[in-house]
Amino acid sequence: MDTKKKKKKISPYMVFSTIVIILLAIAFAFPLYWILTGSFKTQISINSTTPEWWPSEWVATNYDKLFSRQKSPLWEFAVPFSSHFSADGKDIIWWAGPQVPAAVRWLINTVFMAVASMILTCITSAMAGYALAKKRFVGRSILFTLIVCAMALPKQVILIPLLREMSSLQLYNTIWAVIFPIVGWPFGVFLMKQFSEGIPGEMLEAARIDGATDYRILFQLVIPLSKPVLATVALWLIVGHWNDYLNPLVLIHSQEHKTLQLFLKELVLNAETSTSNLASVNDATNKGVAALSQQLKNGVLVVSMVPMLVLYPFLQKFFVSGVMLGSVKG
């Protein structure tokens, strides 16, 4: 009996598919590489007609300007509803942190907004999905139908009602105005409901016989089993909130509560305005301002992309398995 293992033959299809995958990886990675290296290039290198693939001189001028443009308190705690009885109509701050570069404050705002919304939404999605999958109550089918319909509703449609609601709740111009509307994310509820239906009912019944309450079953049994799906929901939420521009633009107007995306858009608009105002100045000055603006934009892009690039590889495995578990039955 021949026990030797046959070597796998390398087919032309395998060679072709490998080449295509490598080319696609280079095509997706090159813009990131160009932004990263461009943030450290000099004005001369950016203005050069010949592309400089690797910076001949590394400078950090853009990062110095990014973190020295404005100052802002690292944190602020206001008296609840103090704007109603303050003389100027603003919140009364009872504890403010040390002054730091505004970019640091905006980075913290973005991180807090993404993490807080992720934690709250994962909890509510797990509770709602478990109830819709394993509990029998009047109106369950109608409620799930409404959740599915809400998935197809663009957020632009509810933006004005959302603005009025946040204003009536005295949450306008706060980070919570961006966090709370996403807490009942329909897709997260849908995904958790689909996954919870695959959990054996016998397992839950055995836990009840042992004296476990519904809350204990949820937090000690269902949620640990739902880690892949929750990782999928968490990754979607973090990426979505990190890149969100429309909601903070409408619901936040103060400098202290800005996010990185608002700052990036403001930077682009200021750069375009500065360049257009220098139309009458010599071409060298115009190019210098444009190059410096491009450096700043690259710097902000690098700062805003790094957390996502660091986070995604750790959650990629859970992301793929979570999508499959939430959609495949049996």
Asked if residue 97 is part of any domain, the answer here is no
Asked if residue 230 is part of any domain, the answer here is yes
Asked if residue 125 is part of any domain, the answer here is yes
Q: With 0.85 as the threshold, say if the pTM is over it.
A: no
Total structural domains within the chain: 2
Q: Alpha-carbon distance 232 to 317, whole Å?
A: 9
Asked if residue 80 is part of any domain, the answer here is no
Q: How far is CA 196 from CA 75, 115, 225, in A?
A: 39, 24, 9
In 3D space, the residue among 1, 102, 39 whose CA is nearest the CA of residue 292 turns out to be: 39
Q: Alpha-carbon distance 140 to 155, whole Å?
A: 24
Helix ranges, the chain (H):
12-38, 43-47, 61-66, 102-134, 140-151, 159-168, 176-179, 186-196, 201-209, 214-217, 223-225, 227-242, 246-251, 260-277, 283-325
State whether 153 and 280 are in the same domain. Answer: yes
State whether 302 and 205 are in the same domain. Answer: yes
State whether 222 and 145 are in the same domain. Answer: yes
State whether 172 and 267 are in the same domain. Answer: yes
User: Residue 3: what residue type?
Assistant: T
State whether 208 and 286 are in the same domain. Answer: yes
DSSP 3-state of 76:
strand
State whether 234 and 147 are in the same domain. Answer: yes
State whether 249 and 111 are in the same domain. Answer: yes
Per-residue pLDDT of the chain (330 residues; tens, 9 = 90+): 454 555 667 788 888 888 999 999 888 888 888 877 877 777 777 777 777 888 877 877 767 766 666 777 777 777 666 666 666 666 677 777 777 777 778 888 888 888 899 899 999 988 888 888 888 888 888 888 888 888 888 878 888 888 888 888 888 888 888 888 888 888 888 888 888 888 888 888 888 888 888 888 888 888 888 888 888 888 888 888 888 888 888 888 887 788 878 877 776 666 555 555 544 444 444 444 444 566 666 666 676 676 667 766 666 666 555 555 545 444
State whether 39 and 162 are in the same domain. Answer: no
For residue 25, give its domain range.
12-59
Helix ranges, 74-175 (H):
102-134, 140-151, 159-168
CB atoms within 10 A of CB 265: 14
Residues 85/321, Cβ–Cβ less than 8 Å: no
Asked if residue 180 is part of any domain, the answer here is yes
Asked if residue 219 is part of any domain, the answer here is yes
Last residue of a domain, one of 24, 43, 59: 59
Asked if residue 147 is part of any domain, the answer here is yes
Q: What are phi and psi of 326, to 5 degrees?
A: -80, -5
State whether 52 and 156 are in the same domain. Answer: no
State whether 132 and 45 are in the same domain. Answer: no
Q: How far is CA 125 from CA 25, 30, 36, 180, 186, in A?
A: 34, 37, 37, 13, 8
Q: Sign of dihedral through CA atoms 150, 262, 59, 277?
A: positive
User: Residue 52: what residue type?
Assistant: E
Residues 182/119, Cβ–Cβ less than 8 Å: no
State whether 185 and 250 are in the same domain. Answer: yes
Asked if residue 212 is part of any domain, the answer here is yes
CATH (domain of 158): 1.10.3720.10
State whether 20 and 160 are in the same domain. Answer: no
User: Residue 240: what residue type?
Assistant: G
59 sits in the region (left: phi over 0; alpha: psi -120 to 50; else beta) called beta
